[in-house]
């Protein structure tokens, strides 16, 4: 949510930003907001004037009573009652307009950074840089689900019976490899100076609407029936929500945290779910980075954060690339975002394994998170980035390490988390 004062003073810029995001249907909202804002300010001025008149009249009443001018004092008291009636009506109208204004403001997209490429959707995202040499072995690499099943590590049939499509059982060394990767990601980020955290996996609706747009919420979140609780789609939701309504001393910034959580997503939309595979599922696990900082430091943190994900995957010997998200692919709260994609030697193309975003003060403004400065309290900036989301990271490791005999080499940095195991071999039938 952008600042109403900014919108009021930059109507054309806000409209141009909407056009850059190919959301022309929102253009009329800007004029509606300007009119509502004007009405609200006029009501507030009228209310303030009436309050001043009420206060001065009340003072007059006190003096009149002292002077024993009872009849005149009672006439003034009647005027105060009339003012209070007017104020009650004005305050009710103020409250109604303020709520409508807030609802409309929540739909206006954040102002994107000047460096963001203009494009309609993810097909127009722009490759930035490749890290590591993409390779294709001289033997066929099976589908990742088939590799996992041959290694005794995946059972989607049973998950279908217990939970339906989009769920899975990981077992044996594959399950262990999954957890080893999560544990290594945790330690990797701790070594970078981030504070480790395990947050709540359910949050209230006011936190959900504070960290994401309504469209994202409807497409992603599972609601707990009969309660004001939602299952998180990423630990970023809980981690930013942790600071809701707080004032943080400027000297305590930046706050850099790395958080673990399971993630739950409806995955509503065009992509659909994979019947057999693990790429798009309802439940997965994730190690996240979250940073709260001064607005002027946000871009430096943004560049550091995505580079940490690149460094992490390169330590697993997985080739990756970074992809700049175009304007039409940015969620409404985002200022700038890039994806980290891992190389798939089976498909001979890259696939998304993480995303890094800077959101300016949008989340802080929605959740009332401020920093205390010499010049008063100000909204701070928030950022988030995926270290890993598994099983997507598991797919990258399995395909990269797949050998012609059907075994999978374990990256050296993970072997200590696997009890020294170097290779996962197919189960004997």
Would you state the structure tokens that stand for residue 37, as one six-digit string?
């804002």
- Which backbone phi and psi does 67 adopt, to 5 degrees? -85, 5
What is 36-104 written as a DSSP string?
HHHHHHHHHHHHHHHHHHHHHHHHHHHHHHHTT-HHHHHHHHHHHHHHHHHHHHHHHHHHHHHHHHHHH
pLDDT computed for residue 365 by the predictor = 95
Cα 323 from Cα 78, distance rounded (Å): 69
The helix/strand/coil state of 425 is: coil
Give the domain 4-105 fold. Answer: Helix Hairpins (1.10.287)
Task: For the chain, give every domain's residue range.
Answer: 4-105, 122-424
Q: Which residues, including other chains, have CB under 8 Å from residue 190's CB and lie 6 or more apart?
A: 196, 258
248 vs 269: CA distance, rounded Å:
38
- What is the structure's pLDDT at 7? 96
Q: Are 202 and 231 in contact (CB under 8 A)?
A: yes
347-368 residues labelled b (16+ CB within 10 A) or e (exposed) = eeebebbbbbbbbbbbbbbbbe
108 in the Ramachandran plot: left (φ > 0), alpha (ψ -120 to 50) or beta?
beta
Task: Report whether 234 contacts 211 (CB < 8 A).
Answer: no
The pTM of the full predicted model, rounded to 2 decimals, is 0.90
- Can you list the positions of beta strands (E) in 144-204? 154-155, 169-170, 195-197, 202-203
Please state, in angstroms and rounded to a whole number, the distance separating the CA atoms of residues 235 and 258.
Answer: 9
C-alpha span between 369 and 377 (Å, rounded)? 10
Helix/strand/coil for 140: coil
Half-sphere exposure of 308 toward its Cβ, with a 13 Å CA cutoff?
29
Please name which of 401, 399, 320 lies closest in space to residue 356, comparing C-alpha atoms: 320
H or E element that contains 291:
strand 283-293
Q: What is the CA radius of gyration of the chain?
A: 28
Q: What is the pLDDT of residue 273?
A: 58
Residue pLDDT, tens place only, 171-214: 999 999 999 999 999 999 999 999 999 999 999 999 999 998 77
Contacts of residue 7, defined as CB under 8 A and 6 or more positions apart, other chains included, come to 14, 30, 33, 34, 37, 105, 108
DSSP lists the bridge partners of residue 125 as: none
CA distance 270 to 273: 9
Q: Which CATH class is domain 122-424?
A: alpha beta
Q: How many CA within 13 A on the CB side of residue 385?
A: 31
429 residues of the chain, pLDDT tens digit each: 799 999 999 999 999 999 999 999 999 999 999 999 999 999 999 999 999 888 888 888 888 888 888 888 888 888 889 899 999 999 999 999 999 999 999 999 999 999 999 999 999 999 999 999 999 999 999 999 999 999 999 999 999 999 998 899 999 999 999 999 999 999 999 999 999 999 999 999 999 999 987 777 778 899 999 999 999 999 999 999 999 999 999 999 999 999 999 999 987 554 555 567 898 899 999 999 999 999 999 999 999 999 999 999 999 999 999 999 999 999 999 999 999 999 999 999 999 999 999 999 999 999 999 999 999 999 999 999 999 999 999 999 999 999 999 999 999 999 999 999 999 999 875
């Amino acid at each position: 949510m952008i600042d109403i004062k900014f919108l009021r003073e930059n109507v054309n810029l806000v409209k141009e930003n909407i056009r850059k995001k190919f959301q022309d249907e929102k253009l009329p909202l800007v004029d509606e907001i300007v009119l509502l804002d004007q009405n609200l300010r006029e009501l507030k001025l009228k209310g303030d004037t009436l309050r001043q008149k009420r206060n001065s009249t009340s003072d007059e009443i006190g003096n009149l009573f002292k002077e024993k001018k009872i009849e005149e004092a009672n006439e003034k008291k009647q005027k105060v009652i009339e003012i209070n009636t007017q104020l009650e009506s004005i305050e009710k109208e103020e409250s109604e307009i303020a709520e409508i204004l807030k609802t409309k403001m929540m739909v206006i997209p954040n102002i994107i950074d000047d460096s963001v490429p203009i494009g309609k959707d993810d097909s127009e995202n722009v490759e930035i840089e490749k890290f590591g040499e993409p390779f294709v072995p001289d033997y066929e690499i099976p589908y990742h689900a088939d590799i996992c099943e041959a290694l005794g590590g995946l059972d989607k049939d049973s998950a279908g019976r217990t939970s339906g499509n989009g769920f899975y059982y990981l077992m044996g060394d594959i399950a262990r490899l999954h957890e080893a990767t999560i544990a290594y990601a945790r330690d990797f980020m701790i070594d970078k100076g981030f504070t480790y955290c395990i947050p709540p996996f359910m949050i209230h609706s006011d936190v959900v609407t504070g960290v994401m747009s309504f469209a994202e919420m409807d497409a992603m979140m599972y609601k707990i029936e009969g309660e004001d609780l939602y299952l998180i789609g990423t630990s970023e939701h809980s981690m930013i929500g942790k600071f809701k309504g707080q004032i943080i001393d400027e000297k305590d910034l930046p706050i850099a945290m790395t958080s673990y959580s399971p993630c739950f997503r409806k995955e509503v939309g065009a992509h659909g779910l994979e019947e057999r595979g693990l790429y798009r599922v309802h439940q997965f696990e994730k190690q996240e980075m979250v940073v709260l900082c001064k607005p002027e430091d946000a871009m430096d943190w943004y560049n550091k954060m995505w580079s940490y994900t690149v460094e992490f995957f390169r330590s697993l010997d997985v080739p990756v690339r970074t992809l700049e998200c175009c304007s039409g692919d940015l969620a409404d709260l985002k200022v700038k975002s890039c994806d980290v994609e891992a190389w798939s030697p089976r498909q001979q193309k890259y696939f998304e394994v993480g995303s890094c975003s800077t959101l300016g003060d949008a989340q802080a403004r929605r959740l009332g998170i401020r920093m205390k400065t010499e010049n008063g309290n100000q909204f701070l900036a928030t950022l988030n980035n995926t270290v890993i989301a598994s099983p997507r990271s598991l797919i990258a490791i399995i395909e990269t390490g797949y050998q012609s005999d059907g075994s999978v080499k374990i990256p050296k940095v993970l072997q200590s988390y696997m009890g020294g195991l170097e290779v996962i071999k197919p189960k004997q039938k």
